[in-house]
Structures are given as structure tokens and as C-alpha cells.
Chain A
Amino acid sequence: RKEVEQDPGPFNVPEGATVAFNCTYSNSASQSFFWYRQDCRKEPKLLMSVYSSGNEDGRFTAQLNRASQYISLLIRDSKLSDSATYLCVVNRPTNTGFQKLVFGTGTRLLVSP
């Protein structure tokens, strides 16, 4: 079982639609959570952190459920420019004493006119 699991998609939605992605993680020691965005043939970039209380950044809302080990990302009023792969990322401690990021394989979103 992968440490971070995501539905690969693709999610095909029309402009203006609301779309939600889910992610589950297996390591209960995980401490921090993020969504990264990766455009086709580009590098991943941080989209937003995910806080226990839930947080919003414009059209994007992220939520965390620690009990269920579940993270979500909601995108409202989808734009063509939102088309990308969204990577669920978990930061967890290792036996070196440092933390490391563990990436899901990503959910692909295609927004059409």
C-alpha cells in the first residue's frame, strides 16, 4: 500500500465547475500536509498548506481529518488555468531525526471551455 494515495483521475470538468480531490495517508505520525501543483512537463510547486482547522486561499479550500487520515482540496469556479496535476504531500518524521516530504502520485484535472 502506498503511503499517500490519490485517485489519478483525470477529472474532466467544465469551466466554472466545483471539483474536489481526496487523499489518504497511512502514517499516523505524519505532522504536516500540503497540496502541490504540477503543470505538464514542469516541476511541482507548493499550492497551499493544509491546517487542521481547514483553510481557504481564494477559490481553493483544503481540509484535514486526522482521525480518518484524509486530506481534501476543493476548487470552486474552475478556470482553464487550473488544469494541472495536484499532488497530495505529507511531511513525516524519519529515523534520522529529520522530516521528509512524501508525495502522492497526483490527481490530474482537465478544465474545458
Chain B
Amino acid sequence: DAGVIQSPRHEVTEMGQEVTLRCKPISGHNSLFWYRQTMMRGLELLIYFNNNVPIDDSGMPEDRFSAKMPNASFSTLKIQPSEPRDSAVYFCASTRELGHNEQFFGPGTRLTVL
């Protein structure tokens, strides 16, 4: 079975540009999570969805960040406009249901904002 799929794997963009990261969770998983990882702050939860509904977006750093989950098999994280401090690895993870403890992570998108 395919795991969590993320695209693109690498993104280099210039400050001020819009960036869209994509995620396809594991089929049958009802919960989806977006994380950001940096050396200084580690892995931070940005937002999570349950049955396509956003549950908690308190980790989203600013209004420049937005996330959607239009259906059970697709989610996007958008940054507009991007800034150099947004440079990080962005992971998407899914789990069968909220409260189920094992989260399965995608390979991540390495974002560099120049």
C-alpha cells in the first residue's frame, strides 16, 4: 500500500511568492496533520483535520498560512506571501482516527525561501 504522499519534495522560491504544498493521506485514514520541522524548533504541529474538518489550527504561525482539505484524499498547505523564515521541512501525516496513536508521515517537502 502507498504511504502518505507529498509533493513537491523540494521547493525553492523567492520571498513574496505563493507556495502550495500537497498531501495525499493513506486511504482509509480519517485524520490528517501538517507539521513543520526546523533545527531550532523541532517538529511543530500546524493544523489537523478530522473527517476533512479542521479541528485545531492554533499552530498556524500567521495569516499567511492556510490549509484546506476538500476531500478525504487530498489536502493543501498554502503560504502567501512566503518569507525566508518559512524555510523548513513540512511534513504531512495521517492516522486512522484521532486518538489513534501511530501517525504515518509522508516524506516531507523541503522548502527554501530566498
Interface residues of A (CB under 8 A from B): 32, 34, 42-46, 49, 87, 91, 94, 96, 98-106
B91 at interface by CB-CB < 8 Å: yes
Contacts of B42 in A (CB 8 A): 87, 103-106
Interface residues of B (CB under 8 A from A): 35, 41-43, 45, 48, 50, 55-56, 91, 98-99, 101-103, 105-108
Alpha-carbon distance between A43 and B37 when the two chains are bound, in angstroms: 10
Contacts of A49 in B (CB 8 A): 101
Whether A45 contacts B105 in the complex (CB less than 8 A), given A98-B56, A98-B98, comes out as yes
A43-B91, A44-B105 given; name 15 further pairs at CB < 8 Å.
Answer: A43-B105, A44-B91, A45-B105, A94-B56, A96-B55, A96-B56, A98-B98, A98-B99, A99-B98, A99-B99, A100-B45, A100-B48, A100-B56, A103-B42, A105-B43
Contacts of B43 in A (CB 8 A): 44, 87, 103, 105
Contacts of A87 in B (CB 8 A): 42-43
